[in-house]
Amino acid sequence: MEPTLAVIGLNYRTSPVAVREQFWIAEPDRYDALHHLVRSEGIEEAIVLATCNRTEFILWANDVPAAANSVLRFLTQDYHLRLCDWSHFYRLMDDVALTHLFQVAAGLDSVVLGEPEISGQLREAGEQARNAGATGRFLDAVVQKALAISARVRAETALADSSLTFPYAAVELAIGVLGDLSGREVLLLGAGRMSELAAKRLRSAGATRLKVMNRTHAKGEELAQKLEAQAVSCDDRLTHLKTADIVVCSTSCPHSLISWEDARSIAQARHHKPLVIIDIAVPRNVDHRAGDIDGIYLFNLDSLEEVVKRDSKARRTATEAANKIVAEEVLGFRRRLLAERALPTIVALRQRLEELCQQEVDFLRKEFGPFTEDQDQVLSTLAAHITQRIAGSLARELREIPDRTDQDMLTVAVHRLFKLENTAPALEAGREN
């Protein structure tokens, strides 16, 4: 079976946040996952892309069913995958997988259309896999092409101009509970990019008192200075939670930072005055039961997704333009792959034609020679010209044929006609892929 691109994973379209957080792979664990996967059956190269909205295994697989089983065994062993969980996962191959990856990089497969963060996350995933020795020429090329497409989409469409972002959705949800945000106090748990964007949106909506709490205090202070906010200590977490009106949680902590008991204590201390908690972390930073407590309004990624699903004509137009770019790029990249795939046959064909023409020239020399130097040169030039014309014509057909199965059929025909060896693909493999 011939190697092919495959993507196995789950995302916000196929699973709720409760399922996504179960299979989210923490940064320190991704190297182990990569080392495990590239040693597994069916897999030649691997990238692990893990964000709050998706966990995907991007594979260059020499046997897709075997590769899928290897991923299944890995998730079962390390992440307690059950058979019912497998229904949340998708398995994409060939052009479908390529289209998916290009759409992901461009922000077309994100909750927030056009989000710029995903291209950076894909770049980091590719670099991590390369550092781990888990990628090679193929997946490196796919990632670089995906990033180039992302840049083109941002430059040529209005996809990234949408105001419907997670921070925008956070403001909408907060206003829905609290009304006017003027003078409200905001506590940021986490000092990452999403916290910064949310804080800026909330401030523009009227919130004036901003606090930043981060496990690494220096990083928290850095963001606080940038936002003209106050950096506060994690040791005083409950104190600041009791005075805040809006809490934005976006840390990478692998467990809950606000338990149900914490939330109940906070609500009681506030006399059940409304507190909006927006948890955009995976795994979630807040016990999901906290939303059942009177006065606690808990929203997670699924809640924000409902807000950003609102559509508009401008967004539809931008999406269509971006998808057109992706379709063009998939076609061009596929032709490049088919051209590479045809190269061994083209080389073998040229060598065979040169051999046949040389045999005919030698026969003519033997039967009708000896020839003058000029006549001999004419024969050699004619043989080379015939080789070039036939090989060039067939090479163009093999390179430019748009369908892989058609390329396989033509390749097999060329091999049979010219009796080439060792470079013909198996038609059965082509049909399976």
Give me the active site residues, please.
Answer: 52
Write down the residue that tokens 């906070």 correspond to: 266
Residue 103 CA to residue 52 CA, distance in Å, equals: 17
Residue in this structure with the two tokens 């990249």, named with its chain if needed: 333
Residue 353 CA to residue 418 CA, distance in Å, equals 8
SS3 for 277? strand
Do residues 191 and 215 touch, judged by C-beta distance below 8 A? no
The residues facing 61 across adjacent strands are 4, 43
Q: Which alpha helices (DSSP H) does 186-312 contain, by range?
A: 193-204, 217-227, 237-243, 260-269, 301-308
- Which among 59, 55, 63, 62 is positioned nearest to 104, based on CA atoms? 55
Asked if residue 91 lies in contact with residue 30, where contact means CB atoms within 8 angstroms, the answer is no
| Environment class of 204 (CB within 10 Å of its CB; exposed 0-12, middle 13-18, buried 19+) | exposed
Length of the chain as a residue count = 433
**Which amino acid type is present at position 58?**
I
Q: Specify the residue for token string 């999406």.
A: 319
Residue 345 Cα distances to 161, 168, 372, 397, 410, angstroms: 47, 55, 36, 12, 11
User: In angstroms, what is the C-alpha Rg of the chain?
Assistant: 29
Region at 51 (left for phi over 0; alpha for psi -120 to 50; beta for the rest): beta
